[in-house]
Amino acid sequence: MFNPANETHFSLKVEDYVGDLQVLSFTGTEGISQPFRFDLELVSENPDLDLEQLLHKQAFLAFDPQGSGIHGQIYRVAQGDAGKRLTRYKVSMVPQLQYLHHRTNQRIYQQMSAPKIIALILEEHGIKGNAYSFQLSQPCPDRDYCVQYDETDLHFVQRLCEEEGIHYHFQHNPKGHLLVFGDDQTVFPDLGQPTAYVQGSGMVAEEPVIKGFRLRLETRTNRTTRRDYDFEKPRLQMEAAYKPEGALDSKDAEPDLEDYDYPGRFIDRARGKFLSQRALERHRADYRQAEGRGDQTKLVSGHFMEMSDHPRTEWNDLWLLTELFHEGKQPQVLEEGVTSDTTDNKDDFHQGYRNTFLATPWDVFYRPALEHPKPRVLGSQTAMVTGPKGEEIHCDQYGRIKVQFHWDREGQADDKTSCWLRVSSSWAGDRYGAISIPRIGMEVLVTFLEGDPDQPLVTGCLYHKENPVPYALPANKTRSVFKTLSSPGGGGYNELRIEDKKGAEQIYIHAQRDWDENVEHDQKIRVGNERHDTVVKNTYTELKAEEHRTTIADRKIEAKLDDHLTIGQNQHVKLGTAQLTSVGKEIHLKAGDKIVIEAGTELTILGGGSFIKLDGGGVTVVGPVIKINAGGSAGSGTGIGIKPPVLPGAADKDKAGSLMDQALLNAPASPPPASEKKSFRIQMKRPYDKKGIAGQPYMLEVDGVTYKGTTSAEGFVDQPVPPDAKKGKLTFYPFGAEAQPWVWELDLKAQSEASDVKGLQSRLKNLGFYDGKIDGENGPKTKHATRCFHRSCELADKDYLSSSDIKRLEEQHIA
C-alpha cells in the first residue's frame, strides 16, 4: 500500500489553523479503558509558529486518504531543529479525558451512582453530553457515600469504572471523538469489512492485511468469592461466590483457583453476586489473547476486527481489539522527489504505516483490570460533628453521627456533610454498655475501616481552643472528670469528678435535676467523719422491713411545723435518765383502753395553780377549792389529726437486654357488651405535681375481671367497666412495671354529686386521698383527705370544697 512512494498519506488538520504543517512521522498507543496518546513529528516552512496558539487545539490525524485516523487535543507542542527551508515541530495528541489527570481533589459524593458521578466530573471539565455516552445494559446502584480522596479526577473515574466493571473506548471522526462507556460487548462497533491474513513476506500487498497473528492461553483464576459485614444484620453471613456453569466439574477441569476477598464492599447478596461475577470476568478477560501485526489503518481499539483467510479456520472470526500501537513514517515530505528507502531487511521500517495489536475473542466479556486502586487513608483524621440548624445533638437510632472533614470544601456544616458514622464505645452489648453521643461542634477522631475512605468510624473526641477542658490545666491535672451539658440551650450540667490530689481526694457528683439510684440487693455506706444532707423540699422514705438505727452521741431533731408519727402496733421508748417535754399549748393523750403512768418516787400533776402529788408519803392535793363529785365535766383535747406519709417514688429502672415497659393490653380482659358500658376515668398524678403521669401501666380489678392498660398522654385511666360495678381495686405503677405500685380500693357505684359528702368521699377514695368509709360524715378523715386534694392541686389549704374546687375534682375523676 501507500504507492506511489513519493505521495503523502498522513495529514494533520488543526482546528482554526491554516498552515503548511506536514506529518513526517508518528507513533501512538491506544487501548480500551485508557486514554490514547499520539506523538507526531511535523515539518513546516514557517520557522516561528505560535506554539501557544496550537496548544489545546482540536486536531485530526488522518492515516489514509479515506479518512481513517484519530481525533484528539494537542496536549504538548515543541519546536525542534530548523533547516534551510523546513523547521521541525513535535506535538502530542490526547483525548479530552486526559486533562482530568491534572486536577486532584478530595471530595464527597452522596446518593449517586458511579455513572452519575463520572458524568458530573466530565461536565465540570467541559466534556459535555454530546461528547460522551453511557450505554449500559443495567443500571448501577446509587452509592450512599463515595469519597474521592487525594486522587486525580482521571484516576477516580477509572477506579469507579473498574469497580463497577464498566469499560470505555473512543469513536473517532474528523470533527471529534466520542467517549463511550459500556458494560457488555454490544457497545463495541464492527469495523465493517474483514481484513485478510497474509503472512509477511517482505512484499507490499495491494490491500491492508494482517501479517502476523499469534494466540496464547494463560492460567487464570476460575472462581471468585466475596465476603462482607453489615452491622444492621450482624448474624447474617454476607458471602457471595461465582463460577461459570460446569466449571471445575469435569474430569479434565483446570485446578481450583479461587480469588477470595474481604471486604467485598456490598451489603446485600445480590450485589455481592454481581461483584463476584464481574471480578471473575475481569480475571478471565485475557485468558485467551491474540497478538498480531499488520498495516490495516482502520484498526481502532474498542472495535471488532473480522479476520479472514487464516489457515486455522476457527480464527477467522470477530476479535475485539483491546490495545494497539500505531507507527507511521513519510520521509518524502522533507523534499520533493525522494523515494522510499525501504531495504530488503524486513525488520527495517522507513516509510508507510504499520501497527501491532492485542485482541480477545468476541464472546469473552471485556472487563478493565484493577489498575487504579482506591487510595487508603493512613492513620486517623479529625473532623467536626455536624447536624441540622438549631440542633445540638444529631444522631440516628444506632447513635451514629455526621461530620465534616477539614478537607471537605463543599460541606455546609449541616446534616448532609457525610454519611452516618458509627461511634465506637468502650462497651456495647444487647441494650447494655456505654454510650456518649458526640455533639454538634465537637471535634472527633475518625479512623477508617481497612483504610477505606468510604468507611469512616468515630473513635473519640478531642478538645480544641474553642472547646476547652472542664477545669484549667495543668492546675487541675489530678482531676478525672465526666461532665455533661444540658441540652438544648445549656445552662446546666451533670458531673462526676474524681480528685486524686494528695490530701484533697474527693469524688464529686452533681445532678442538674433528678438523681435516681436502684440497688437490687444490699447497700452499705460508711462515712469516716461527718455527713451533711440538705433537702430543699420534701423527703419520702419507705422501709418495707425493719429499721435499726444507733446514735452513739446526742440526737438533735427539729420539726419547725407539725410532726406526725403513726405506729401500727406498739411503741417502746426507753430513756436512760430523763424525758423533758415542753409544749406551747396542749398535750392530749388518748388511749382506747387505759393509760398507766408509773413513777418510782414521785408523780406530780400541776395545772392552774393546783397540783396533785403522789410520793412515798402519800397523795397530796392542793388547790383553792377541792371538788369531789361536785358536778362539771372533764376537759377535752383537740383530738388527733394524723397525716399518713406519702410513698416515695421509685428510682428509674431498666433491664439490660429488654425494654422497660411491659406489653400490656390496652383493652379490657373481658369487655362488656357495647350497649352495656360505663366509663371509669381518673387522672393519675404524683403528689404536688400538676401534670398527669402518662404512659404507665395499671390493673383495674372489677367483679373478678382484670383490665390492663396504660395511662393516656394526660395521665388518665380511662376504662370501660360493667354498668353495675360497685367496688374495685386499682393497682397503678407510676414508676414502671418493675417498681413499687400504688394500690387502693375504689367505689364504683353510682355516685352522689361532688357537693354531697358521700359523693366527695367516693371521689376522694378513688383518687387515693381517702381510705375511710363512705358514711356521709364530714369527720377528721374526710377533712384531711380534702386538704390533701387541695395541696396536690396547689389550691388553698382548706377542708371544704368551693364550687370551683368541685369542678377541679370532677375534671380529675369521672365515673
- Confidence at 182, pLDDT banded by 50, 70, 90: very high
Q: What is the 3-state secondary structure (H, E, C) of 156-171?
A: HHHHHHHHHCCEEEEE
Residue range(s) occupied by CATH 2.60.40 in the chain? 678-814
By percentage, how much of the chain surpasses pLDDT 90?
59
Biggest distance spanned by C-alpha atoms of the chain = 169
- Report CA-CA distances (Å) from 607 to 586, 610, 613: 12, 5, 12
Residue 773: the pLDDT is 81
The mean per-residue pLDDT over the stretch 107-111 comes to 97
Task: Count the Cβ atoms, other than its own, within 10 Å of residue 664.
Answer: 14
CATH top-level class of 678-814: mainly beta
Q: Which residues is 14 bridged to in the sheet? A: 59
Residue 310 near residue 261, CB atoms below 8 Å: no
Closest CA to 460 of 480, 438, 487: 438
Q: CATH fold of 221-283, please?
A: Light-harvesting Protein (4.10.220)
Q: What is the per-residue pLDDT across 308-339, written as a single tens digit (0 to 9) for each?
A: 999 999 999 999 999 999 999 999 988 743 33
Query: What are 542's three cell numbers?
Result: 419507705
Q: What is the per-residue pLDDT across 445-469, written as a single tens digit (0 to 9) for each?
A: 999 999 999 999 999 999 999 999 9
Best CATH choice for the domain 11-97 from the list 3.10.20.30, 1.20.1250.20, 2.40.10.10, 2.30.110.50: 2.30.110.50
Helix, strand, or coil here: 68? Answer: coil
Closest CA to 498 of 506, 489, 490: 506
Peptide bond into 780 cis (omega under 30): no
The amino acid at residue 357 is F
| CA quadruple 803, 805, 806, 812: dihedral sign | positive
Q: For Cα atoms 214, 218, 222, give the angle at the middle one, nearest 5 degrees.
A: 140
With 70 as the cut, is the pLDDT of residue 667 above it?
no
Q: Which residues is 811 bridged to in the sheet? A: none
Q: What is the per-residue pLDDT across 703-730, written as a single tens digit (0 to 9) for each?
A: 778 888 889 988 888 888 887 787 888 8
Q: Report d(CA 571, CA 604) in Å as an integer.
A: 24
Tell me which DSSP letter residue 175 carries: T
Peptide bond into 4 cis (omega under 30): yes
The mean per-residue pLDDT over the stretch 634-656 comes to 67
| Residues 6 or more apart in contact with residue 708 via CB below 8 angstroms | 664, 665, 666, 669, 697, 698, 699, 700
Residue 340: the pLDDT is 40
Task: Output 753 or 545, whichever has higher pLDDT.
Answer: 545
Residue 451 near residue 377, CB atoms below 8 Å: yes
Closest CA to 726 of 744, 746, 743, 706: 746
Residue 684: the pLDDT is 84
Long-range (24+ apart) CB contacts under 8 A made by 201-208 are: 202/344, 202/346, 204/1, 204/2, 204/3, 205/1, 205/295, 206/1, 207/1, 208/1, 208/294, 208/295, 208/296, 208/297, 208/298
With 80 as the cut, is the pLDDT of residue 211 above it?
yes
Residue range(s) occupied by CATH 4.10.220.110 in the chain? 221-283
Residue range(s) occupied by CATH 2.30.110.50 in the chain? 11-97
Closest CA to 247 of 294, 199, 283: 283
Place of cell 462526676: 496
Q: Report d(CA 366, CA 512) in Å as an integer.
A: 66
Mean residue pLDDT across the chain: 87
Q: What is the pTM of this model?
A: 0.72
Helix, strand, or coil here: 685? Answer: coil
Residue 666: the pLDDT is 33
Query: In degrees rounded to 5, what are phi and psi of residue 810?
Result: -70, -25
Query: What are 760's three cell numbers?
Result: 366527695
Packed helices 757-766 and 780-792: angle between N→C axes, nearest 10 degrees:
60
Residue 813: the pLDDT is 64
Strands, DSSP E only, in 45-117?
A: 58-62, 69-82, 87-94, 104-109
Task: Output 401 or 673, whichever has higher pLDDT.
Answer: 401
**Host H or E run for residue 524:** none
Residue 425: the pLDDT is 94
